[in-house]
Amino acid sequence: MTLTRSLLLGTALTIATTAAAAADMKPEDAIKYRKAGYSFMSWNMNKIKAMTVENPDSFDAKQVAAAANAIAAIANSGMGALYIPGTDADVGNQTTRVKPELFTDKEGVKEVAVKFNQAANALAKAAESGDKVVIAQAFKETGASCKACHDKYRKD
Amino acid sequence: MTLTRSLLLGTALTIATTAAAAADMKPEDAIKYRKAGYSFMSWNMNKIKAMTVENPDSFDAKQVAAAANAIAAIANSGMGALYIPGTDADVGNQTTRVKPELFTDKEGVKEVAVKFNQAANALAKAAESGDKVVIAQAFKETGASCKACHDKYRKD
């Protein structure tokens, strides 16, 4: 899948999934699923970090590719659909660190979301190359795109 | 990626990641990450179910493919590495429904894990076809492979 196609797909998914499948989703489930997505990406980011930055001797191209594919596939899965009404604060047994701005600053959110989506897909592409230096750079850019969103839309 | 390669990769990952990256992972984090993976797959299974079984009129080939890719990429990410010592019961603030048998019945676990991995990759392949009937069948088989593991290794 090309990067452009992934991006278009990501945007389309956000809108379409909201309409189609989120109609009967409970707010606490939406929070649970989006936290699960970020958490699972975090595990895979940690693995790539370990194998490229912290302990490059442990570099394993197949493991890095599998981790990067998981991150990209989660990024491409339309998580925007999980920011439904009623998910801007803790609900049920689910806590959230999201800031209210995420639900109002449409342009700003789109910007960080597109950048993250681009970076995650670029990381998966870099991982295919098996080149440690290329992967380390793409990893750094992906991490920066995560942080850009956290800084703006996540409470500490 | 071929199915065979995915399977080999999955098995290799389980072993290699355990050795390489899990050394300094806290048991509560391992439980958190594996629950996140299952939870996120569950969201994506629900989307595919909604678009193929419950409300076929809402079928959207791109959304189904994105959901199936997320499930397959998570399945291929080496989650076996998250079943480290100390994760066979609740720990820290993490609860787990895993049965102790999962940590001892190596042959049985391998069997359900390989079947699930095969089914998840077959579902992603089916989703590429865009054929609703083919996808519905692959979805059913993936669901059955989830349930086979739950029945044997998860408490109710």
Give the separation between CA A66 and CA A73, rounded to whole angstroms: 10
Contacts of B103 (CB under 8 A, 6+ apart): B83, B88
Residue A89 DSSP class: S
Phi, psi of A95 (to 5 degrees): -100, 155
The mean pLDDT value for B105-115 works out to 98
Smallest Cβ–Cβ distance between A50 and the set B21, B33, B47 belongs to B21
Residues of B in contact with A4 (CB under 8 A): none
Any chain A CB within 8 A of the CB of B72? yes
Count of all residues that appear for chain A in the document: 156
pLDDT, position B156:
82
Cβ burial of B138 (10 Å; 0-12, 13-18, 19+) is buried
- Pick the residue of A38, A42, A43 with the most B CBs within 10 A to test the interface with B by mutation: A43
The pTM of the full predicted model, rounded to 2 decimals, is 0.88
Q: Are A72 and A65 in contact (CB under 8 A)?
A: no
Give the separation between CA B142 and CA B46, rounded to whole angstroms: 12
CA nearest to B60 within chain A: A16
The shortest C-alpha distance from B112 to chain A (Å) reads 20
pLDDT, position A23:
59
pLDDT digits (tens, 9 = 90+) for B4-28: 444 444 544 454 444 445 558 999 9
Any chain A CB within 8 A of the CB of B7? no
pLDDT of A131 higher than 60: yes
Any chain B CB within 8 A of the CB of A46? yes
The shortest C-alpha distance from B40 to chain A (Å) reads 6
Contact B16 A74 (CB under 8 A): no
* ipTM of predicted assembly, 2 dp: 0.88
Q: Are B66 and A76 in contact (CB under 8 A)?
A: yes
How many inter-chain contacts (A to B, CB under 8 Å) are there? 106
Q: Which helix (H) or strand (E) holds A24?
A: none
pLDDT, position B8:
46
pLDDT digits (tens, 9 = 90+) for B85-99: 999 999 999 999 999
Residues of B in contact with A13 (CB under 8 A): 62-63, 66
Contact B20 A60 (CB under 8 A): yes
pLDDT, position B22:
54
The mean pLDDT value for B32-60 works out to 97
Smallest Cβ–Cβ distance between A77 and the set B17, B67, B77 belongs to B67
The shortest C-alpha distance from A95 to chain B (Å) reads 14
Give the separation between CA A58 and CA B21, rounded to whole angstroms: 8
pLDDT, position B21:
52
pLDDT, position A19:
43
Residues of A in contact with B22 (CB under 8 A): none
Contact B50 A21 (CB under 8 A): yes
Mean pLDDT of chain A: 90
Interface of B with A in 109-138 (CB under 8 A): none
Residues of B in contact with A51 (CB under 8 A): 20-21
Percent of chain A with pLDDT over 90: 84
Task: For residue A24, name the pLDDT band (cuts at 50, 70, 90).
Answer: confident
Contact B43 A36 (CB under 8 A): yes
Residues of A in contact with B77 (CB under 8 A): 44, 66-67, 69-70
